Chains A and B, each alone.
Chain A
Amino acid sequence: MTAIGEKTVSNKSESTAEVVGVSPKRGIERRGQIITGLCVTLVVVLVVTLIFMVCSRGLATFTKDGIPLGSFFGGTTWNPHQNGADGVPLVGALPMIVGSFSVTLLSCLIALPFALGASIFVVEIAPGFGSKIFRPLTEVLVGIPSVVFGLVGLGIIVPWMRGLVGGTGYGILSASIVLAFMILPTITSLSTDALAAVPNSYRDGSYGLGCTRWQTIVGVVLPSALPGILTAIIMGMSRAFGEALAVQMVIGNAAQMPQGLFTPASTLTSVLTMGMGNEAMGTLPNDVLWALAMVLLIMSLVFILIVHLIGRKGAAKND
Chain B
Amino acid sequence: MTDTTKLTSSTVQNPVLHTHDVTVDYSGKRALNETSLSFESGTVTALIGPSGCGKSTFLRCINLMNREIPGCVVGGKIVYHDINVNTKGIDTLWLRKRVGMVFQQPNPFRKSIYENVAFALKSHGMTKKEELDERVEKSLRAAALWDEVKDKLRDSAYALSGGQQQRLCIARTLALQPDVVLMDEPCSALDPIATFAIEETISSIARNGICVVIVTHNMEQATRVSNKTAFFYLGHMVEFGDTAQIFGAPKDQRLNDYLNGRFG
Binding site for B on A (CB under 8 A): 199, 201-202, 204-212, 215, 219-220, 223-224, 317-319
Contact = CB atoms under 8 A, between A and B. Distances in A.
Nearest to A207: B68
Nearest to B173: A209
A210 B94 contact: yes
7 contacts: A205-B169, A207-B96, A208-B65, A219-B123, A220-B110, A224-B109, A317-B110
B119 interface: yes
Best-buried of B108, B119, B176 by chain A (most CB within 10 Å): B119
A201 B104 CA distance: 10
Best-buried of B65, B96, B176 by chain A (most CB within 10 Å): B96
A33 B56 CA distance: 51
Given A199-B107, A209-B97, A209-B173, 16 more contacts: A201-B107, A202-B110, A204-B68, A205-B107, A206-B120, A207-B65, A207-B96, A208-B63, A208-B65, A209-B96, A210-B120, A211-B119, A219-B123, A220-B109, A220-B110, A319-B158
Contacts of A199: 107
A209 B158 contact: no
A204 to B, nearest CB: 6
A105 to B, nearest CB: 27
Contacts of A210: 92-97, 120, 123-124, 176
B93 A212 contact: yes
Contacts of B173: 208-209
B117 to A, nearest CB: 10
A204 B94 CA distance: 16
Contacts of A319: 158
B18 interface: no
B101 A208 contact: yes
Nearest to A213: B68
B111 A212 contact: no
A206 B103 contact: no
B105 interface: yes
A201 B169 CA distance: 12
Contacts of A201: 103, 105, 107
B95 A219 contact: no
Contacts of A219: 109, 119, 123
A202 B63 CA distance: 17
Interface in B105-156: 105, 107-111, 119-120, 123-124, 156
A215 B100 contact: no
Nearest to A224: B110
B172 interface: yes
Contacts of A318: 158
Interface string B30-54: 0000000000000000000000000
B194 to A, nearest CB: 18
Interface in B161-193: 169, 172-173, 176
> Which 3 A/B pairs are nearest by Cβ-Cβ distance?
A210-B96, A209-B120, A208-B101
Contacts of B123: 209-212, 215, 219
Contacts of A204: 65, 68, 103, 107
